[in-house]
Structure 1
Amino acid sequence: MSDESRDFHRPVRRPAELFDRRFAANDPAEVSRVAHSTAAALLNRVRADPNSAIVDRLIAFTDEHGIDDIAELWSRSPSRTLPGALWRLYLVQRMIHDDPHTAALLYERGRVEISSADPVVAGAPSPAGPAELVALVDEILRGLFQGDFAIALERAAAFCRVQASGATHLADDYEVTEPERASALTKRALRLSTYASDLAACARLWRMESLS
């Protein structure tokens, strides 16, 4: 499990050691090959026949089984690759589903504070409550399989930037009275900002037919 996934992750239910044994993790090239091939196969299969029921089941799968069961392969991939992008998108989805109230608080604060068009690009209603945030992140994931993949990545990047803005400003609010909470929010803001940069880069690579 990569360190960057620890902030936005359920408890691990499939030990990494099992993954190592099954996919010969002592051979990084083999791990990379399997991660890339499974990500491409999943994406190509669903996009070739974007049946709504299949897409809905795929998106709901993480609700029922957690990220490890579907994306353990992708967690070790470089951030600006197809499996790396899918891993980060599912982590963001898990973060929203696990704690939609905090997500809504961060998003609304970020929407008010941010000076860019990111709230418009992300597409959340204003104001956005917990239910709206859950619906939005699922809609963004649905766009990976049924719409323009690059646009879905750009929406996810914009969403992360708004959340990062909210986390940064809330961290400032708590810095004096609750320094530990401020530190946690700052860490989340940094992680979200990194995800935003990676997802935006993946969108550009996809448009150049270079994301693999």
Structure 2
Amino acid sequence: MQDNFELNGLKVKVLIVGMVQTNCYVLSNVHSKKAVVVDPGDQGKRILSYLREEGLELEGILLTHGHFDHIMAVKDILENYHVPVYAFEEEQDLLEDARLNCSVQMGRMATVMGAFYKKANDTFEAAGFPVKLIGTPGHTKGSCCFYFEKNGCLFSGDTLFMESVGRTDLPTGNGQRIVESVRSLMNLPADTIVFTGHGEATTIKYESANNPFLHGWE
């Protein structure tokens, strides 16, 4: 799996972390060294080491949803950097409840308190680039994607995978809603690169043609 991308000044570093091989992304501005981390799921020391080795100025953490395998390293990062954590407003319950986010079941309780909650379609700055939060409920009720239009990429968390979608049998999941959310993402430009929560990156064009959940598997 390719672990480095550069998209119109945005460097995307892929770190595969934790027990279920979660894709954690460190996004940095090649011109200013400003950075954000998307879904720090585990191995906080490894994420921190990369930030320091690259001389990056961390400005925030973006969470696509609140499951344990996407938040385990948030605490480690916040102990070293006083930065905001951004998530979709519908995900507060999951982030603050260790049973709902399944970390209790894993034997490693994890919660995220005091996050900055954004509404669907809110736009804000991350690493010096505009980013839009797209609400994509289904995997959880507050799942979201982060869309960097200028850079032609989307961070989909566990909503959209290559030729698949996220599971919906965990707390607050909904199978019908995730299919609706994925279909809505197909309105993005076809050449948009999709960086998924697990597995390989894909594109909107490829998923539009090949994702079975868009073609009758509901």
Pair in the same fold by TM > 0.5? no
Structure exhibiting the larger radius of gyration computed from Cα positions: 1
Tell me: higher relative CO, structure 1 or 2? Use CA pairs within 8 A at least 6 residues apart: 1
- Write 1 or 2 for the structure with the bigger share of helix: 1
Could you tell me the TM-score, scaled by structure 2's length?
A: 0.25
Could you tell me the TM-score, scaled by structure 1's length?
A: 0.25
